[in-house]
């Protein structure tokens, strides 16, 4: 019953992670955030691997899933620091999220709750093929939305890591007990017996 509860809880957290990652992937695509798009794709693959390992009793897959969650927590912690401009990080200078290929920002910058976007005409700050806008009236600025999204990912990842370690430990203990009992002997396995190919021939004597 405990094993089933652990497995079911882990699958539930993996499903939550999958939904949250897909939702985040959509908004990152809309904002042309290439670095998060790549990270989200790897995370989705790792979560699917974790679900498969849980259902199929594969402890190695769960260990790989848990190892990825450590990297995932680190990545999301960096995103929080980036959008809150901790230390020397600056959104106006560093375009890490787009691999320095464009000036696009988060999709939430213009589409946040209550945001009013006003184009600034004839601005000297506008680059070629770009326009300057003014965003006002947001109930929650986009850096805080991105930070909250990353905090949710960290929360799910920490719980997923704990349950992945627990379930993989249970699987490894079951594998060790199976080997201790005798492996194939418990299934009535018998080694093949050697058969003799010596044939008896009649002996004839002359009188």
Q: Can you tell me the distance from the alpha carbon of 55 to that of 180, in angstroms, rounded to the nearest whole number?
A: 24
pLDDT at residue 45 in the model: 97
pLDDT at residue 123 in the model: 54
pTM, two decimals, is 0.77
What's the length of the chain?
207
Q: Using CA atoms of 58, 13, 169, 171 in order, give the dihedral in degrees to the nearest 10.
A: -30
What are the structure tokens assigned to 136, written together?
């006002």
Q: Which regions of the chain are under pLDDT 70?
A: 1-4, 92-94, 120-132, 176-207
Residue keyed to tokens 């498969």: 52
How many Cα atoms sit within 13 Å of 138 on the Cβ side?
Answer: 16
pLDDT at residue 136 in the model: 84
What are the structure tokens assigned to 67, written together?
């190892």
pLDDT at residue 96 in the model: 83
pLDDT at residue 157 in the model: 95
Gyration radius (Cα) of the chain, Å: 30
pLDDT at residue 174 in the model: 80
Q: Can you tell me the distance from the alpha carbon of 73 to that of 50, in angstroms, rounded to the nearest whole number?
A: 16
Q: What is the DSSP string of the chain?
A: -HHHHHHHHHHHHHHHHHHHHHHHHHHHHHTT-HHHHHHHHHHHHHHHHHHHHHHTT-HHHHHHHHHHHHHHHHHHHHHHHHHTT-TT--TTT--GGGTTS-----THHHHSTT-EEEEETT-TT--TT--EEEEE--SS-HHHHHHHHHHHHHHHHHHHHHHHHHHHHHHHHHHHHHHHHTGGGGGT--PPPP-------------
pLDDT at residue 186 in the model: 42
């Amino acid at each position: 019953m405990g094993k089933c509860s652990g497995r079911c809880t882990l699958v539930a957290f993996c499903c939550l992670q999958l939904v949250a990652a897909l939702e985040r992937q959509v908004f990152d695509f809309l904002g042309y955030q290439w670095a998060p798009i790549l990270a989200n794709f790897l995370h989705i693959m790792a979560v699917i691997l974790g679900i498969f390992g849980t259902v199929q009793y594969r402890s190695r897959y769960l260990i790989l899933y848990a190892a990825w969650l450590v990297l995932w927590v680190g990545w999301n912690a960096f995103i929080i620091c980036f959008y809150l401009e901790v230390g020397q990080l600056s959104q106006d200078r560093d375009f890490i999220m787009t691999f320095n290929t464009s000036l696009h920002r988060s999709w939430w910058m213009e589409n946040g709750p209550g945001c009013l976007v006003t184009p600034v005409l004839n601005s000297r700050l506008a680059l070629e093929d770009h326009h300057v806008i003014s965003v006002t009236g947001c109930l929650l600025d986009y850096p805080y939305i991105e930070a909250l999204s990353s905090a949710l990912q960290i929360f799910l990842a920490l719980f997923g890591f704990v349950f992945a370690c627990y379930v993989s430990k249970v699987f490894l203990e079951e594998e060790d007990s199976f080997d201790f009992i005798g492996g194939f002997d418990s299934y009535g396995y018998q080694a093949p017996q050697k058969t003799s190919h010596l044939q008896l021939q009649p002996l004839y004597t002359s009188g």
